[in-house]
Chain A
């Protein structure tokens, strides 16, 4: 980096920042957030990109930098187990932010109580006539209250980890309930022009939709939402973030600018990897780092418990979220691709995948589907007909972990 930059001191922060701190600690996302708000003027948005890219941080910054015309509300639904909890948590959150009236929250709480425990004075055997409103009606009314409180501004409901929540619902209650949630959210977007939604999550929504399609769901519940990709940090911003963290963590560097540049490069500009690598460097007995160390730092980092945990996720999640018949094929494709830094043509890739007995019989159409799923899931990209890993750091890990083996 040629430009003169003064690094400020920043500490590694692994959790999420507070909204008020976000403008200070979220580096390199201001333009992205401006673009997100511009997009939200036109419609609801699906945030795309793989895990660890900093989607949640971007949403927190977006709240901090909300424009006058918008009233955002952010909720993380990762720990929610069912749809009634979802409605209740949404209401509690909205109320906490003074975005719905207290009377409404009380009504919702009453509804929640009744839905989870039958009140004795109302219990009349099978003649329980006082039927509760379905949650969908309550959700609709909640959104209306939110819109009312937004007083002419655009109400923006940001739901983090939605696919994870839906996946949990599919596993616990079957696909029907998840379909209902998606359809309800869609119909709310359709019927309420003053409401915008932002969906976000580390598990790709396409994986959930794939599972629903297997259950014969033909709907397209997010085709009204604009997609918005959160890319890695721009090299300049990644460099700045690295410099600030190295400075803040007090890491001995022979030349902090060179080390920052190298760290930004090996971590591919992914904020989480930057934080993890700097954090690990800080734990290495106050040694002094030089540029060459950093360029070979990955192999060491991959073998640490922390590095292993971070990256083995890319392999382990295939078993958890991919249909059984796709797992082997996806893994074979990634194994082969990891051996080729520059990428491969589809035919070559398929041919080498067929060199493995387990995937010998794979049909080209089926394999194309597998590659497209991997692409949607941000493992790979297809650039000018060449398929390759999206992130070089992930390719390197995959190669070290699997690609070099004859599996």
Chain B
């Protein structure tokens, strides 16, 4: 056994006060000091204090209680000021207060004969009453501290009446204090009518952290004067070994102390033999005793959890494996949890259970003789030794334990060394990267084709076969990122960084830098900009001073990304400063990678300046990009130049300098028009589309159409979504221009072209264009007075996109329905129109034209009162100053001109929007001209109606005057109109023309 001794279980009762004092952990010391002060103060004030320490087995309860007891015994050894009664740790058979007092007497050193004599001799009182009197007698009613361990067990053995008696006994004796411990709360502790509810001050003992555990073990070793162990624990790498045994013991003080001897093992001591031996000799009896206390169901549950090798299980899973009802499992788990056998981890609303002390799993494994090499020991070895040590031990240990070292070696290699080896060793690139493997080729093909989920599956399969494969690991992380599984990719990146983080090898450093840059991107995408910025800063800080080109590239990328992140999260000023930093640092470089970084940065700066409304500076930056990289032949740099020109053109257009804008677009087309690289084609398309739009704004419509045709010709066959959207957009623009040029048939044919080219697309962005084209087509057919065909176009929209949830498509569906509704109104089919408007409003409840349509349809369907009632609701939804408000009132005046009562109601509803009311009235008056003589006569009553309805609304007077004058004019009073202001006369004249 290489000189390793088998450690014994630590027992505080057998330790001296000095030793207990030395090895008390800081938090336990704090508690002990507090309780000691309380007890001492109680002596002076003659008050009692009752305390209950709760913690799992081995958490140091007995240590604290013993320390307190021994301290008090030392302090009050020679006087009667304080009496201390310590019940045995394993008191059994206490079921009544009498039993409790008898145990106290025994603990006090009174013989059974004396007790029997004293209690049985009493006449006229019960033995319990006699015992109470005897207790008072022997304590002399002086301050007395009773120390009770396993309180919950004690209470479990007592009837509730006996517990009440105990409470009554304590309550009546202010000189008696109870100091108790327990692994769990006593049953029904939270029941307010429990005799001991609120009686004790409860002190839960918190678990040690791994760092505390190392300090604790060091103190323990110093106390035992174990120089080897002290020296081992002082070494930095000892924390890893402490962690290993901490993981096994779950932080249990007693077990930690028991296993601490292994820490003093020499570098290459064989551990398996002594460990299994220790388990056989010490752990099995220790746990056996504990398991014996559990019910058969509880044992069954523990074994089921142990069978899952460290994977925590939920209640349903345990129920599934044990065939116990889940309610039973829950109840038993509750007891196991509070007995310190299992741990509960909460994930959302679900609880998962694992063994609290993994050593219990080891015991169960050993007992059942299964799963060799025992996984728990393999894990211990993995964390204990370096690879080199494991390799050496694997060669030198006896045959029976060799499997353990081999398994540990494999496990360790999987986690770290092999990955590190890949990045250091060039041979991996040549030998191990499965370039020739079909699976690798397939996975890479999927990756390149952006079929990431298939690529991920491939990479994962490769890793199962060969976990050493570095490129596969990196590509897997990247594929996870690109497929949107960002959190998983983040984890993958973090793992790689963790493994390679401190390496000084250039290849590894480059890899770390690359991974950090990717991590930053992922964080930014996950909208965690501060973390992303901090990662980019980390790259700059760590590798910024390097002269290595590959590292400089990564630094440049990190800084560029930092600038972009700052822009994205609207921290424009900081972004500009970062951009300047990049340009200053790398602009002199001739390396394409660095130049691309500079170009991207400048572009980003330009956009930021635009946002900050500093357009001249923005344009200068774009000019700088063109000047610096215009002659460069690198495609990525050319793409940046194209973008700069397009951005410049756009800004010039906004500054109302269209000719200069057109020049910029032309320049982009001239420079890159012939280039077929996709990244440049997007730039050329952008330039052409913007050029067309600019020409349209300049009303150079024919030229605009030519440019749009050029876009369709060049990019019409493209499969790139962005280019397809551009083509669809320009076609619709072209159709609209043709409509403006009164060439409706041509316009319709262009709209049809959009449907033909993109009608089958499943891309929502393209579907929106298709729906738009159909709506425009219907509208144009309407103008051509071909209502049936128009309806057919609108129906097509509803058929194709009626069930879509895409908001933009819903708007177009509502528009199609609405237009169809108005055609139905034209057909005097008000009922159907009403149904259609209702459908449109179901799709878009606030769609103003349909709200208007519904009011008119109700009116025409002879539901005038409903129409007026609905008007208020409709006006609530129509934005103020929307033209539709004016149009509704215009239509309603027209429809209700002979129904003064209802018209008055309508005007009342419009009171709050007088602008629209008056505008609608003027429009109606305008609509009456030219006025014939016959009509003029009938208008007299109409005028009177309007005068009455609009009475008190001074803003309506001019409109009414206008109507009056126009009527008089029609009747031959040529001066009537001349009396009006010129602007008012103009209103009518324009209409007459």
Contact = CB atoms under 8 A, between A and B. Distances in A.
A206 to B, nearest CB: 22
B529 A357 contact: no
Interface stretch (B437-445, B505-513, B577-585, B685-693): B685-693
A127 B190 contact: no
Nearest to A96: B880
A125 B696 CA distance: 19
Contacts of B348: 324
A240 to B, nearest CB: 35
For A95, A106, A176, A348, the residue with the greatest tally of chain B CB atoms inside 10 Å of its CB is A176
Interface hub of B194, B654, B722 (most chain A Cβ within 10 A): B722
Contacts of A116: 807
Interface in A343-361: 347-348, 351-352, 354-357, 360-361
B644 to A, nearest CB: 11
B722 A120 contact: no
Interface in A323-368: 324-325, 339, 347-348, 351-352, 354-357, 360-363
Nearest to B718: A125
Contacts of B643: 127
Interface stretch (B126-134, B400-408, B723-731): B723-731
B206 A361 contact: yes
Interface in A232-261: none
Interface residues of B, number: 63
A25 B879 CA distance: 31
A131 interface: yes
A354 B203 CA distance: 8
A406 B198 CA distance: 13
B607 interface: yes
B690 A129 contact: yes
Given A120-B729, A120-B733, A136-B570, A129 B646 contact: yes
A92 interface: yes
A92 B878 CA distance: 11
* Residue in A118, A129, A356, A362 whose Cβ sees the most chain B Cβ within 10 Å: A129
A348 B197 CA distance: 12
B682 interface: yes
A176 B685 contact: no
B602 interface: no
Nearest to B196: A355
A320 interface: no
B202 interface: yes
B416 to A, nearest CB: 29
Contacts of B646: 127, 129
Interface residues of A, number: 49
A176 B682 contact: no
B192 A123 contact: no
Contacts of A404: 192
A120 B690 contact: no
A130 interface: yes
Contacts of B720: 125
Nearest to B773: A120
Interface string B193-212: 01001101110101000000
A305 interface: no
Nearest to B610: A131
Contacts of A14: none
Contacts of A121: 693, 696, 729, 732-733
Nearest to A119: B729
B191 interface: yes
Nearest to B189: A355
Contact of B346 (A173, A176, A324): A324
A98 to B, nearest CB: 10
A127 B689 CA distance: 10
A92 B607 CA distance: 30
A117 B811 contact: yes
A367 to B, nearest CB: 11
Contacts of B686: 124-127, 129
Interface string A121-155: 11111110111011011000000000000000000
Nearest to A103: B881
Given A120-B769, A354-B204, A406-B191, A126 B570 contact: no
B384 interface: no
Contacts of A126: 682, 686, 722
Nearest to A354: B202
A47 B879 CA distance: 31
Interface string B173-202: 000000000001100111110100110111
Contacts of B650: 129-130
Contact of A360 (B185, B198, B346, B807): B185
A105 interface: yes
Interface string B625-666: 000000000000000000100110010001000000000000
A109 interface: yes
B206 A407 contact: no
Given A106-B881, A117-B811, A125-B725, A361 B204 contact: yes
Given A121-B696, A134-B570, 6 more contacts: A117-B808, A121-B729, A123-B726, A124-B689, A127-B682, A407-B190
The 10 A-B residue pairs with the shortest CB-CB distance, nearest first, are A127-B686, A125-B722, A406-B191, A129-B650, A354-B202, A356-B190, A176-B527, A124-B689, A361-B204, A125-B726
Interface of A: 92, 95-96, 102, 105-106, 109, 116-118, 120-127, 129-131, 133-134, 136-137, 173-174, 176-177, 180, 216, 324-325, 339, 347-348, 351-352, 354-357, 360-363, 404, 406-407
27 contacts: A118-B808, A120-B733, A120-B772, A121-B693, A121-B729, A123-B725, A123-B726, A124-B690, A126-B682, A126-B722, A127-B643, A127-B686, A129-B650, A137-B611, A176-B528, A176-B529, A177-B527, A216-B531, A351-B202, A354-B204, A355-B202, A357-B184, A357-B189, A357-B190, A357-B337, A360-B202, A406-B194
